[in-house]
Amino acid sequence: MTNTRTEYRGYLIYDAPQSFKPASARFEWNHKDFDEGDHRHGFSPTLEEAKADIDEQISEGDAE
């Protein structure tokens, strides 16, 4: 697996180490300004689903 890193709408999406993600998820994503206690992060099985999850989070009122 190559180390993919994509920027999308102010978020970074990347292949996360297996030890830090659920088994069904390949990608981890978080806001570029992410820090402790921030809820702007998640895990998704595909790059396309990561983008959709970010879109959903933004549409729910989280700032880009």
Q: What is the pLDDT of residue 3?
A: 64
Q: What is the pLDDT of residue 25?
A: 86
In a domain, 29, yes or no: yes
Reduce the secondary structure of 21-39 to three states and give it as a string: CCCCCCEEEEECCCCCCCC
Residue-number span of the structural domain to which 35 is assigned: 5-59
Domain count, the chain: 1
Mean pLDDT, residues 6-25: 85
The residue with greater pLDDT, 33 or 22, is: 33
Residue 25 C-beta-side C-alpha neighbours within 13 Å: 19
Instruction: Report percent pLDDT > 70 for the chain.
Output: 86
Least confident of 1-10, 39-48, 50-59: 1-10
Q: Distances in Å between the alpha carbon of 18 and those of 14, 26, 40, 42?
A: 12, 8, 20, 14
Angle at CA 40, nearest 5°, toward 12 and 38? 120
> Average pLDDT of 34-47?
89
